[in-house]
Amino acid sequence: MNDSSRDLTGLVKATAELALQTASTSRVHTGMAVTTLLVPECPKLSAAITAETDGTHPLFSDMQRWARLAVGLSTEEKVSPQHRAILIEHCKLTATLEQLLGFVLSCSTVPTFATSKLLKVQFAVSAELHGVAAAIIGALTDVRGG
């Protein structure tokens, strides 16, 4: 087997592995009820996006983003007092990321492809956090302006 055949074989294997991983991830996301909101960029959300996640504990990345989102929105002046109160209470009751395990199933905050001035926030949580999720949706709607 010559070098180009080995390279081609390696490329085919890598492509197959990537396809399997992508399909698996897609099935997981499809199986969850993922909430998606588009909101204009604001400093509190930008902080949640740009903050580094703990690379040594990738399992906690979604929980870190959720926590930063909740903390950021709880201090955003555009958020209604009702939504802010729920988020503040959630933050007070959640002392560690471990407490969010099994409750925050997915959380992503990224700039949209078309423009970095618009942020896409996606999350999925267990039933126990539906009230907090509703407050986050309300707070993001407050930030968006309606």
Measure the CA–CA gap between 46 and 63, rounded to whole angstroms: 17
Biggest CA pair distance of the chain:
69
Do 49 and 20 share a structural domain?
no
**Cβ atoms of 68 and 45 closer than 8 Å:** no
pLDDT (0 to 100) of residue 30: 59
**119: Cα within 13 Å, side-chain hemisphere:** 22
Q: Which residues contact 105 (CB under 8 A, 6 or more apart)?
A: 32, 62, 123, 124, 125, 126
Mean pLDDT by runs of 10 across the 146 residues of the chain is 80 87 76 80 72 68 91 93 98 94 90 84 93 96 84
Total of domains in the chain: 2
Q: Do 39 and 18 lie in a common domain?
A: no
62 and 12 share one domain: no
Is 132 in the same domain as 72? yes
Based on the fold, state whether residues 49 and 98 are members of the same structural domain: yes
- Residues 58, 99 within the same domain: yes
pLDDT at position 54:
63
Q: How far apart are CA 100 and CA 83, in angstroms?
A: 19
CA 40-41-45 angle, 5° bins? 120
> Do 25 and 38 reside in the same domain of the chain?
no
| 8 Å CB contact between 109 and 119 | yes
Does 111 lie in the same domain as 62? yes
Instruction: Read off the pTM.
Output: 0.74
88 & 133 share domain:
yes
The domain containing residue 84 runs over which residues? 33-144
The answer to whether residues 128 and 57 belong to one domain is yes
Q: What integer pLDDT is reported at residue 125 of this predicted model?
A: 94
